[in-house]
A and B are shown apart, each in its own frame.
Chain A
Amino acid sequence: MDYHFKILRFDPLKDEKPYFQDFFSRPKEMDSTLEAIMEIRDKQDPSLSFRYSCREAVCGACAMVINGNITLACKTTVKSLNSHQIVVEPLPNLEIQKDLIVNMDPFYKTMESIDPFLQPNGPLPEKGFRIDEKQMDKIFQFVTCLWCGCCYAACPVVSRDERYIGPAALAKLYRFVKDPRDGRDSAFWTKINNPGGIWGCDTVFRCNEVCPKDVRPADGIIGLRKKLIVEKTKNLFKRKS
């Protein structure tokens, strides 16, 4: 039986508004949605635009909305959708550039704004760092973030409050704060100790739900909140004594 794909099309230079185009095709059972729309592009309409690269859920290029779910098209098999109608749309919270391609720059800027690089707490030991395995395990959850933007697109706070930097950036920051090799100046707290930072999160966990790599960004946000409270309390005691 044919699958009915409804794919959102929009070229802001030509079209007044986005519209859905219907395609019919017969993907193989284990084909991913990415493979299915590639086949549609190759055989039916080469002008259809979308991003992709690795096709194995490690590069983060093909984030989109499939039957209402924000996810990577490559890791969503057609079969797993349990429906013969498949609606494909671009990520929300970001501007459409063409068809399924959105402008990711606002998202990338939030990632860059938290200084996402190690700031070592001293000179590099000659024979490398010695780090407790368990401490490293704590950051592994967060280092698998692909910068795909799924959580940013799903976040209700991002959609209503332009100050909020979003889940991925905060989770990334937490990854460095928890890295035993990092010794960043505590000044970074002032940047995020506000509604545009850690206090903006509604804790509705949409980010955790949609993350294709199970990073659970909200864990990072909550982790930062806890750490900030601990630091503040410490200072309180210091002042008293």
Chain B
Amino acid sequence: MDCHDILIIGGGLAGLSAALKISSDLKVAVISKVHPLRSHSVAAQGGINAALGNNPDGKDDSWEKHTCDTIKGSDFLADQDAVEMMCKTAIPVLYELDGLGAPFSRFPDGSIAQRPFGGAGFPRTCYAADRTGMILLHTLFEQCIKKGIAFYNEWLVTNLIIHEGQCVGVVVYDIASGKTHSIKAKAVIFTTGGYGRVYLRSTNAFINLGSGIGMAYRAGIPLKDMEFVQFHPTSLFGKNILITEGARGEGGYLLNNKGRRFMEDYAPSSMELAPRDIIARAIQTEINKGNGIEDKYVHLDLRHLGRKKIEKRLPGIQEICIYFAGFDPVEKVIPIQPAQHYSMGGIDVDEFCASLVKGFFAAGECACVSVHGANRLGGNSLLDAVVFGKISGESASNFVEGGGGKIAGDNILFAEAKRWEQKINDLMRKDSGENVYDLLYQLKDIMSIKAGIFRIKADLTDALSQIALLREKFKKAFISGNCFRYCQEFVTISEFDSMLDIAEVIVFGALKREETRGSHYRLDFQKRDDTSWLKHTLVNWSEKGPKVSFKDVKIGKYKPVERKY
């Protein structure tokens, strides 16, 4: 049986960062359900934060100020030691990426260009026009080619194999052949990304079903702070394609149906550059009050920036508007609405990306260290993916080189693959039942209506029972296509199991947390409550349903204060 020292699941920015960090003496492979360049990291637009101080307005910036902004942005739920480490490392990491060939935009003095972003005291977001994720993913993929990293593309991992408390491998479904098999590994790193498509309106790629998080949960690893779901304020109305925060960083305005810059009422000093949770709520409030257009959206106005600036700094946004909405933002305002964008929560790991299961590590959006707490600042997700991707690679290397890894007997892995094959065969044998795509749309509806930007007990309780009903229906799901090769229906069925779990944990956490913090807004508990709720939510899987426990937030020198922008 195929045996690796380290398997990385997911070929996005975190996965490739991990692969590049692992010692060349170890046998490593990246498994991805798509070609790595199709990973969702490619869609990140605005930039990556590091206090380089290149912008003339950012001369006084420092990694300490980056730390402070990130913690305040997180509504004080982030672990401060981890944030400090991330922000400090950001500076050498940016120079390293530049040295690997990342084509960052430049200032006239030749240094890496930096723009203002939401919730940041200084312009510290480094960028390559509005294609930062794309150029970073390509740069790291190029480096993986140089290093000769092995990739298994279009393989879907379906199970994490834990034996005697230790991770010993994974079960994979080869999408091209339709065959299932197991692979042994002394350590496994999950860099599987987010679950955006649990929601109806999401900026995420169609592939972001999030099953990595669900697999870890089923394997007994707790999920942390899952109730904190980021809604990006500005997604293109209708399509929900991301319109970067950089558009506001470059000076774009948000206007309601009266043409008024309504952010004045919500964040008078930061205006359009307040953190995302605050702006998303402001937009939704405006729409709910009848100040939206067609009661559905507001406007993002870039026209005053002029053609030259838009074409140079925001060419991707211009392209998106032209191709997907049929107008040029140089001439017309952009209709925008909030949409699910990012998961602050995820697989519970420490600052070394280690979980409580030996040999299992996680990094990037699927993981929760936590550096984003209750609300992530724009420009910190690419940073998180690179910094913690590297750390996860280092931790897994140390673990294997230190002799921590175990090789399980073939029979254990065969048994897991067999169990999975059995499940497929059962599905194949049915010739009628529920269509998984129908169920998926129903789940998206529930999550969007009941567990969106504004939450209330009655809705959340209702959502839980509706998810339970869907789970019953899902037992009757069947594969109608009768073909295993390149069967997207099967991929969706196998991931849907996890999506139900993830949705349940999000709602469950949201119901338990009786306060308002960051992205989690309870209409029935509108205040932050540090006495009872300055703590991380942990949810474990059990036969009887999710089990909640709590963990202290690591507070350092930044004492929780009221967040004002």
Contact = CB atoms under 8 A, between A and B. Distances in A.
B142 A117 contact: yes
B421 interface: no
Tell me whether chain A's interface is mostly helix, strand or loop, or mixed. loop
Contacts of A45: 481
B138 A143 contact: yes
Interface string A14-45: 00000000000000001010000010011101
B485 to A, nearest CB: 5
Contact of B37 (A32, A41, A55, A147): A147
Interface string A101-125: 1001000100010011110100010
B235 to A, nearest CB: 11
Nearest to A57: B323
Interface string A37-74: 01001110111010111111111110000000000000
Interface in B262-310: none
Contacts of B35: 61, 104, 108, 147
Interface string B87-112: 00000001110111101111111111
Contacts, number: 162
Most buried by B among A30, A43, A140: A140
B489 interface: yes
B131 A118 contact: no
A30 B106 contact: no
A225 to B, nearest CB: 23
A98 B205 contact: no
Interface in A82-100: 97-99
B110 A30 contact: no
A139 interface: yes
Nearest to B320: A56
B128 A43 contact: no
Interface of A: 11, 13, 30, 32, 38, 41-43, 45-47, 49, 51-61, 75, 77, 97-99, 101, 104, 108, 112, 115-118, 120, 124, 126-133, 136, 139-140, 143-144, 146-147, 176, 179, 181-182
Contacts of B38: 51, 53-54, 59-61
B489 A97 contact: no
Contacts of A146: 37, 134
Interface string B39-78: 1101100000000100000000000000000000000000
Closest 3 CB pairs of A and B: A118-B101, A47-B481, A130-B110
Given A60-B37, A98-B485, A143-B135, A136 B205 contact: no
B43 A56 contact: yes
Given A42-B437, A59-B42, A75-B323, A132 B95 contact: no
A227 B206 CA distance: 42
B488 A61 contact: no
Contacts of B487: 46-47, 49
A33 B316 CA distance: 20
A160 B130 CA distance: 38
